[in-house]
A and B are shown apart, each in its own frame.
Chain A
Amino acid sequence: MISFILSILTQVLPFMPLAIGISTSYNLLRATDMSLDGSFVLGAVVFAKLLTLGCPPFLSAFVALLGGALVGVFVSFIQRGGHIDSLLAGVLVVFILTSLNLIILGRPNVNLSSLNTLFSSGFSKSQWCGWFQVTLACLSVCFFSLLFMSSRAGLLMRSLGDNPRLLGRLGYPLELIRSLGFSFTNLLAASSGIITSQIVGYADISMGLGMTLTGICAILLGQQITRVFITTPVVRTGTDFLACLIGVFVYFLGLNFLLRLDIDPLYLKMSLGLLLIFFLRTANMSKSGAA
């Protein structure tokens, strides 16, 4: 049982930064940013490529994060002036990134297990030590994003999602704030990609497929659960974070449970999609019901 929970935790941890990114764009910026799929892979790919070129792990990670942030700036730029809506902009960027990622990596996947990564010093000592490093990395990303979201920059991002017209009329630089928001979420996605590639031991250009949808599914699930015991959220960012954590955990719990039941993975995506439709419907219904 404990090993079952632990194995779930090892899946939850690297997913958390991405989940926070998705939650931020979905709940706060009010945009379904599909480009996170692409940034996730971009993070992994850039990181892996630089490692194979002999770059030190920290520098590689830094450049990969920067790459994620740039994707955000690009997504935001496409939407400028409202000529292309956020959903389409994201899909377009993923489309572009699928080929860009392949160009960067040079081949469909790269094995990292023989290379010196951020966590290889830990894992070379013991399994526990390695996982400790992974946990530390994930938690610090989460911590810094929480800090960022509760700062004034976070407030501006939330206000952008809430009433962009008014924000513009009050004289705030809309485009700058939008870029900031999308850079932040795409950077989080890239950091998830970086961490994941080191845990699974390879970077693969198709590893991000459907991640954003999965994330939204998990987050909506988490929100439904948190709504049961937090009726009047005091700290919005904190509640959103909690919903993220619970949702992702429950999602992976369910997933692993299904896999244990020997359900053919063939049916997995299909059932997941149907589940997502169900959650989206109930979430929107409870929203309009409350209004």
Chain B
Amino acid sequence: MVNKNIQSILSVNNLSYKISSSSGFILKDVSFDVFPRDFLILLGSNGSGKSSLLKFIDKRLNSPKNTVKFEGVDVNSISTKKYSLKVKTLTQNCDDSLFPHLTLFENFNLYARNSLGSFENNIKKRDFLAKYLNDFNPELSRKLDQEVDHLSGGEKQMFALGMTLLQPPDLLLLDEHTSALDPRTADNNMKMTLSLIKKHGITCILTTHNLHMAEEYGNRIAVLQRGQILQFVHEGQKHQFTKEQMYQLFY
């Protein structure tokens, strides 16, 4: 059971969302808490509302007052600039988090704004970036002066991960960020992502429609169907998820 004494890093309370009054709910009365170092999985079929939910959490969509709170504070009252350092998102479309027509080094220059002072000169900075990227994908460290657009999809997503975690956030939202990659590349990226999450102690929410992924990575799983949280599965309860239940969810 979740220890209620720990303060939640994120809490969502009765969040509902519909586009117009005549249309159906995209999200309906969604409530849940995320605690420090949680790895929460949002499991649901296509169109169940996973991405929409994440958009409310990272302020891409404006939430009604007090429905989304970060560290106990309504997200609407936190400045975008401050919030964007604490909560970061990686989506399937990695161009969202990169400048596609700038070079890798230029992207880094824009991302590394706050730590800019710590570099004596450009050469040191390039050295740092090459070493940093080498852990992600050795190919990347050789392409510092190439435009992001000229990278392969897998390299791009790896670079996006590197840039997003250059200054690790408190909460990381992963919206199927590996789903456009081939299985092996996706696996590499996921391994890297997990090791960084562990290393920096980042709290994470990951969306997926893949049950195996959910069982492998998450310590809690929220099952989303047509905008509602159907059930919460806590660690140790995973086996209660029968094939029949899953079948009902997805087919």
Which residues of A are at the interface with B, using a C-beta cutoff of 8 A?
A: 152, 155-156, 158-159, 162-163, 165-172, 234
Contact = CB atoms under 8 A, between A and B. Distances in A.
Contacts of A171: 80-81, 84-85, 113
Nearest to B150: A232
A159 B98 CA distance: 10
User: Majority SS of interface residues in chain A?
Assistant: helix
Interface in B63-88: 80-81, 84-85
Given A155-B109, A170-B113, A163 B99 contact: yes
A155 B110 contact: yes
A93 to B, nearest CB: 27
Contacts, number: 44
A158 B113 contact: no
A149 to B, nearest CB: 13
Nearest to A291: B149
A156 B97 CA distance: 16
B103 to A, nearest CB: 8
30 contacts: A152-B109, A155-B102, A155-B106, A155-B109, A155-B110, A159-B99, A159-B106, A159-B110, A162-B99, A162-B100, A162-B101, A162-B102, A163-B95, A163-B98, A163-B100, A165-B96, A166-B96, A167-B99, A167-B110, A168-B80, A169-B80, A169-B84, A170-B110, A170-B111, A171-B80, A171-B81, A171-B85, A171-B113, A172-B113, A234-B145
Interface residues of B, number: 18
A266 B81 CA distance: 55
A36 B113 CA distance: 32
A162 B96 CA distance: 11
Contacts of A165: 96
A171 B96 CA distance: 15
User: Majority SS of interface residues in chain B?
Assistant: helix
Contact of A166 (B98, B101, B145): B98
Contacts of A158: 99, 101-102, 106
Given A152-B109, A158-B106, 9 more contacts: A155-B106, A156-B110, A162-B100, A163-B99, A163-B100, A166-B97, A166-B98, A170-B84, A170-B110
Contacts of A162: 99-102
Contacts of A163: 95, 98-100
A130 B28 CA distance: 75
A172 B81 CA distance: 8
A155 B116 CA distance: 15
A65 B125 CA distance: 37
